[in-house]
Amino acid sequence: MSISKQPLISASPSGLRIYFVPLPSPGHVIPMIDIAKIFTKHGAECTLIMTPLNAARYESNIHRSGLHLVTFQFPSDTGLPVGCESADLLPSRKLFGHFRRVVDLLEQPFRELLRVNPPDAVVSDSFLLWTAVASAELNIPRYSFPVVSCFALSVERNLLFHRPQQNVTSDLDLFLVPGLPDQIYLTKCQLSETTLPDEKLIEFFERALEAEKATTGWVVNTFYELESPYIKHCERVTGKPVFHIGPVCLSGVSKEEIAERGHGKELAAVSERLLRWLDGRPAFSVVYVSFGSVSWLPKAQLKEIGFGLVESGVPFIWVVGGGDESDDVADEVSAIAGDAGQVVKGWAPQLAILGHISVGTFLTHCGWGAVTEATAVGKMMLTWPLFADQFYNEKFVVQVAEIGESMGAERGYIWGEEERTGVLLNRERVAEKVRWSLGPGAESMRKRAWEIGIEARKGGGKGGSSYESVECMMEDIRKHRGQRTEAGVHGETGDQH
């Protein structure tokens, strides 16, 4: 493993240098880049730490934004196929637990970087527990980016502490999650620990609680107007400040940044084709459908979705993950839909599509990044969670924020065992819900989502809640730097500023 030779010279107006360390997975890397861009705009010098393949995937977005980059070689001879440096490239979902443990091997070069070139702060993915320990040993403040919402953090924490799921016998029996600002009911089959059956998952959550002790605060992709009760709840139960700086997708303001977000210029033709198609559709008439970058659905379920969209009679853009079986379904549905629908294989410019005036509804898996993108542009959601924290997010969107309608899936897919579960919702349900979401019955929900979008955009502007939260975190970093300077922490390495 090696560290790139790119120099790290502080030239930022604020004098603050921050390292950003994402988990190698699109749903984690993309918002981390957005966060780094936000702090750059506030005057910090921001450096992303990635592996070569991930750096190449997001290179144009990184360099356009004035971000610095350090690369660590991805560990080799670990049992993973060559080139699998990102979770979405794994040939089997069952390899994710092993993948996460291989990523932990990046701890040593990270420690070396901190020793040779210490920053003023580290912002790292909550999955990367070793970044908390390594930073604390050098008295460098580490801020944890959990990827999820404050609501999901609160739910997961209370499930771990109180274990109410142990008091029910059936996987479909509802139980109350105690200690939350709202009455939230879940079932066993909707829990992260059920849909992500890594035998070490509970152990990981327990280690994460231990790592909290070495964590300075939380950096969360949310905004005060959306999640204020749960922001306060997280601060109260963890004893750590929550810096709510979202929606982070609003960090890119140019059309190029928005169109290339999450990818590069090589797919510009896809963006142009889809946006041109949307230009020819009436306002709020299109449903956009995507289940995220790492979701996998059985072929039978893909068919029900595709034919349900066609039968709805609603214009649609449907993003289908890559793979031989999904390609077959995509081709079949595309041929039947004709110009009434656009079926996209692999990647689409999600934020640009959601922000287009022709899109009225987003059918989503409820990954938190997708939820914040919908709120940023004021679009209501049809929720269809599949695994991990997604059922928690559905509860928030439907019950708390009231900006979405559930598709009605009672259970998700167990990670790596999707084919065994088969079809969860049929084409009739898909067609019915899609039609409803763009009709008069959903008008009040669409209006509320639009109003939330206005609040989201205000929050990121100067003087807004998210803007001020970034400033508060910058001040917190300065405070810690002052304390370290007084204590002479840098020692023989000297002050880097």
Q: What is the rounded distance in angstroms from the CA atom of residue 48 to the CA atom of residue 18?
A: 9
Active-site residue 28, yes or no? yes
Q: What is the rounded distance in angstroms from the CA atom of residue 312 to the CA atom of residue 333?
A: 13
Q: Which residues contact 437 (CB under 8 A, 6 or more apart)?
A: 287, 360, 361, 380, 382, 405
- Separation in Å, CA 232 to CA 183, 199, 250, 441: 17, 32, 23, 34
* Pairing verdict, β 404-406 and 380-383: parallel
* 387 φ, ψ (degrees, to nearest 5): -165, 180
Q: Are 193 and 166 in contact (CB under 8 A)?
A: no
Residue 396 buriedness (CB in 10 A; 0-12 / 13-18 / 19+): buried
Chain centre distance of CA 149? 9
* Catalytic residue selected from 28, 42, 233, 365: 28
Q: How far apart are the first and last CA of the chain?
A: 27
Q: Count CB atoms within 10 A of the CB of residue 343.
A: 23
* Pairing verdict, β 359-364 and 286-290: parallel
User: Tell me, what DSSP letter sits at residue 46?
Assistant: E
The token duo for 238 is 């963890």
Q: Which residue has the tokens 């079926």?
A: 343
Q: What is the rounded distance in angstroms from the CA atom of residue 474 to the CA atom of residue 476?
A: 5
Q: Where are the alpha helices (DSSP H) in 143-239?
A: 150-162, 192-195, 201-211, 224-238
Q: Which residues contact 297 (CB under 8 A, 6 or more apart)?
A: 291, 305, 321, 326, 386, 413, 418
* Catalytic residue selected from 34, 120, 125, 198: 125
The verdict on whether omega for the bond into residue 164 sits within 30 degrees of 0, i.e. cis, is no
Q: What is the rounded distance in angstroms from the CA atom of residue 242 to the CA atom of residue 257?
A: 27
Q: Are 437 and 380 in contact (CB under 8 A)?
A: yes
Q: Count CB atoms within 10 A of the CB of residue 33.
A: 24
Strand partners, 363: 289, 382
- Known catalytic residues are 28, 125
